[in-house]
Amino acid sequence: MHMNPRIQDIWLRLLDAGDSSQTPQIERVEEGYYAVVRDASIRAKCPVSPEREDFRAVKPFIPHLVRTRAVYLNKANAFGLAKAESPVVWAGQLGEQVERGTRHAFAIVDADVFCQ
Q: For 86-107, write each residue's pLDDT tens digit.
A: 788 888 888 898 988 889 999 9
CA distances from 107 to 44, 56, 78, 93 (A): 26, 15, 14, 20
84 band by pLDDT with thresholds 50, 70 and 90 = low
- The pLDDT value given to residue 112: 78
Indicate left, alpha or beta for 23 from its phi (over 0: left) and psi (-120 to 50: alpha).
beta
Is residue 1 over pLDDT 50? Answer: no
> Structural domain of residue 75, as residue ranges?
5-114
Is residue 80 over pLDDT 80? Answer: no
Number of domains in the chain: 1
Tell me, yes or no, if the pTM score tops 0.85: no
